[in-house]
Structure 1
Amino acid sequence: MKLLIVDDDELVCQSLQLLLGKEDDLEVIHTALNGKIAIELCYNEQPDIILMDIQMPIMDGIESTKRIKEQWPHIQIMMLTTFQDERNIRLALKAGAEGYLLKSATIENMAQQIRALKTGSIILDVDVLKKLMEPDNAALEGLTVRETDIVELIAQGLSNKEIAEHLFLSVGTVRNTLSIILDKLEIRDRTQLAIYYWQRKNKS
């Protein structure tokens, strides 16, 4: 599994490269001191996973994540930072990051989470998840009754086909309605939509 480590602290890059490189199935192919360099490296190196800091000079981790996911959606990005504020968490996930870990995590935990990320899991540190459970003042307003029904079923883990059968709709109608919902709420995908829904459900 090829890793790219991006952090403006050269010591952090070197430490992570050394420690994660000891794992048999992990290979740190390069490090970068900012997001701009990370994008340049993606052209030639094509890492499987990027460990991405947030606050960096020249180009921060959120902007570089957005650009990388636009060009190489198959590259998975784990935000690795000391910051736990809600705004950065939401911006990182909205930009396309699949994971968000704190730098205080042990190397063993990082390695395990990197492997889990590769299998398709969404990785969120426990403290980060607590932040996500705090609503961001936006509500599920402006949706029709049918759109709200679809959001609820997505949050329950149903596929488009299952939702169509449940609501007596065509799969195409469900797909189109989901696109409208994502646009209205400015949310990236159905996973983020489910998180968004349960945040508010748990507070009600």
Structure 2
Amino acid sequence: MKIMIVDDDTLVCQSLEVLLSREADMKVSAIASDGKEAVDECSNNLPDVILMDIRMPNMDGIQATREIKSRWAQVRIMMLTTFRDEDNIRLALRAGAEGYVLKSTPATNMAQQIRVLVSGSSVLDADVLKTITGNRDSSEDLEPLTNREQDILELIAQGYSNKEIASQLYISEGRVRNTLSTILSKLNLRDRTQLAIYYWKRK
């Protein structure tokens, strides 16, 4: 898979490039120092995954994510940042990012998190989830959902792909997809990332 790294810190870019170059199924195809460069690079060399910093000059990562997702919805974007504040997290997710991890994430975990992202699952760092869900009312239950829908929601929140969910529950991938659409409709949510947040708010 082709990966673009977007960060105004040259050392961060170099470190990630060295790390990911060790993975047989990954290739760093582009590096950009700000959001504007990232958008331009997508036009020239569309990646499968973008590791996107938030705070950068010229165009920040949130604005770049919004622009890229509006033009190339298939690109998976993981926000990679040192910032834990709730406003940035929510803005990034609303812009269309499917993942949000901290730069302090152990290097050995990064490649696996990228694979999970590409499989169609969300990747939300535990500290990020704690920031979003901390001190929230967890009394709201999952009453609108059937038992099967609750089972699928739980597995989605744990990061399982549709194929893995189908295998665990002994159902077809098509049924998982259809049930996922039903869950999103019932809860008035947009995607798997919002479902994961919804689930963990109640834990």
TM range (shorter): 0.7 to 0.9
For residues 13-92 of structure 1, the aligned pairs below 5 Å read 13-92=13-92
8 Å Cα contact 1:132-1:199 kept in structure 2 = no
Name the CA shift for 1:33/1:191 in 2 (closer, same or farther; >3 Å).
same
**1:191 Cα deviation from its structure 2 partner:** 3.0
Cα distance change of structure 1 residues 29 and 163 upon mapping to structure 2, 3 Å threshold: closer
- TM norm structure 1: 0.74
Taking only aligned residues, the RMSD between alpha carbons, in angstroms, comes to 3.1
Match for residue 194 of structure 1?
195
User: Letter of the aligned partner of 1:55 in structure 2?
Assistant: R
* Distance verdict in 2 for CA 1:79–1:120, change over 3 Å: same
Label 1:49 to 1:149 Cα distance change in 2 as closer, same or farther (>3 A).
same
Q: TM-score, normalised by structure 2?
A: 0.74
Deviations 1:92-128 (A, max 9, x none): 1111111111111122100110111111110011111
Q: Which runs of 5+ in 1 are unaligned?
A: 141-147, 165-170
Amino acid at match of 1:12: V
In the TM superposition, what whole-angstrom CA distance separates every residue of 1:9-52 from its partner, at most 9, and x where no partner exists? 11111121122112111100110000000000001111000000
Are the equivalent residues in 2 in contact too, given 1:35–1:59 (CA < 8 A)?
yes
Count of aligned positions: 177
CA offset at residue 132 of structure 1?
Answer: 2.1
Kindly report which structure 2 residues correspond to 1:1-204, keeping only aligned pairs within 5 A, or say none. 1-134=1-134, 156=150, 157=152, 178=185, 182=188, 189-195=190-196, 197-198=198-199, 201-202=202-203
